[in-house]
Amino acid sequence: MKHHPNLARLAGAVVTLLVAAACSDVNRSPTAPDRLSTDQSPSLSRSPSHFEVLHGAAIHATVENVHAAHAARPTRSTELYYHGGVGGIGIESAPKVYLVLYGSQWTNNDPSGEANIVQSFLKGVGGSKWLNSVVQYCQGVATGTYFCNGAGTAAGNPNGIFAGIYIDNGITAPSRPSQTDLANEAIRAAAFFGNTSASRNASAQYVIATAHGNNASGFGTQYCAYHSATSSSYGNIAYTNLPYMTDGGASCGANFNGLGPNAGITIVEGHELAETITDQFPNGGWLDGSGAENGDKCAWISSGAGATTAVGFSTGTFPVQSLWSNAANSNRGGCVQSY
C-alpha cells in the first residue's frame, strides 16, 4: 500500500499549544494536583496575554492542518513503539469508556443529536474488527518494543466498552472551558461513577463532551479534539476533550469524503478512543518516532488505502477513519479499517 506521512502533532504527540482563552481566572480543584507523574504532565497556566497553555495534550488536528503538514513534510512511514508507560500503565487492557455531558448548556441544545450519536457509537464499537488493531499493542515490555509477540499485557477490545453516561446538568460549564476545567470535570465524573482508586482508573477514559456553542478555545482552528490525563486523589485519570463537533464544520469532518454533515462526530471520537486505549497517559504508550499515535498516522485520508469510510457496527453504521497497524503489510505497517 502507499504509506501515508505522519502527522507530527505540531511538535510531537504531547505538545504545548497556545490557544486563545477566556480571560476569567483558572483554578485547579484541590483534588487535582498540578502535575501528572510524568515529564509531560497536563498542567495549565496563564500567559500575560491571556492565552491558555496546554500541556500533555495529544492533539487531533483539523483537516486543513493535517493536509498542510503532509504537504510540507512528506516522510516515510514508521512503526509505533512502546514508550515505557506512566506508573507502569501504557495501554488500557480492559477499556471502559464513560461519556460526560458537561454542563447545563446541554439542556435543549443539541441540534445535531451528538449526545445520542456518540452513545450509539460507543455502545457498538467494542469488540469490533475496526477497533481490533489495538490488541497488537501492549504494556509490560521494554521501552522501544515494536512487536509484542504475546509478551506483556495486551490492549483490550472487549464487547460492552461503553460503561455509562453522566449528564452533569447541575452545573454551568465555563463558556470556554480550559484544560483545567476539563480535567476537573473528569475527576468529578470519576467520583460519580465510583472510580475512586488508581486501579479503577487504570483502564478508564472519560469523554468530556461540551455543548453546542460551548467549546474550548482553539477548537476548529488548531484542533478538533485532544486527549490528556491529570493526576488526582483517585489516581491518574485519562480524559478526552470532545467539543461539539459540528460547530467545527468541514475543518472537523463535516461532509468529509461525502459521509454527511455529522461525519466528524464519530471520526474524531473514534480517533481519540483508539489513541487513549493505546496511549492511556500521553505519552507513555505507543507512538512513532515523530510522536504520532495510531490515529494520527491515518487521520483525514480522503482516498486510497486507509481512506475514511462508513463502517457497520452492532448499533448502526458510522463514519470512522482507519487506524495504524504495525502488523499490516507483513509487519511494514499501514492504515487498516479491520484487523
Write out the chain's pLDDT in tens, 339 residues.
Answer: 333 333 333 333 344 454 433 333 223 233 333 335 333 333 333 333 344 678 899 999 999 999 998 887 665 568 999 999 999 999 999 999 999 999 999 999 999 999 999 999 999 999 999 999 999 999 999 999 999 999 999 999 999 999 999 999 999 999 999 999 999 999 999 999 999 999 999 999 999 999 999 999 999 999 999 999 999 999 999 999 999 999 999 999 999 999 999 999 999 999 999 999 999 999 999 999 999 999 999 999 999 999 999 999 999 999 999 999 999 999 999 999 999
210 DSSP β-pair partners: 102
In 3-state terms, what secondary structure has residue 334?
strand
Q: Does residue 49 lie within any of the structural domains?
A: yes
Q: Does residue 3 lie within any of the structural domains?
A: no
Domain hosting 99: range is 15-336
Neighbouring CB atoms inside 10 A of 5's CB total 18
Answer for the pair 69, 7: CB distance below 8 angstroms, yes or no: yes
- pTM score, two decimals? 0.88
pLDDT of residue 72: 78
Q: What is the largest CA-CA distance in the chain?
A: 53
Residue 149 region by backbone torsions, left for phi larger than 0, else alpha for psi between -120 and 50, else beta: left
Q: Does residue 39 lie within any of the structural domains?
A: yes
Count the domains in the chain.
1
Q: Does residue 10 lie within any of the structural domains?
A: no
Number of alpha carbons in the 13 Å side-chain half-sphere of residue 8: 12
pLDDT of residue 76: 55
Rounded-to-integer distance, Cα 291 and Cα 151, Å: 23
Rounded-to-integer distance, Cα 153 and Cα 149, Å: 11
96 DSSP β-pair partners: 204
pLDDT of residue 75: 55
Question: Per residue in 16-41, is it b (16+ CB within 10 Å) or e — as a string?
Answer: ebebebbeeeeebbeebeeebebebb
pLDDT of residue 77: 64
> Measured between alpha carbons, how far apart are the two ends of the chain, in Å?
16
Q: How many residues does the chain have?
A: 339
Answer for the pair 311, 337: CB distance below 8 angstroms, yes or no: yes
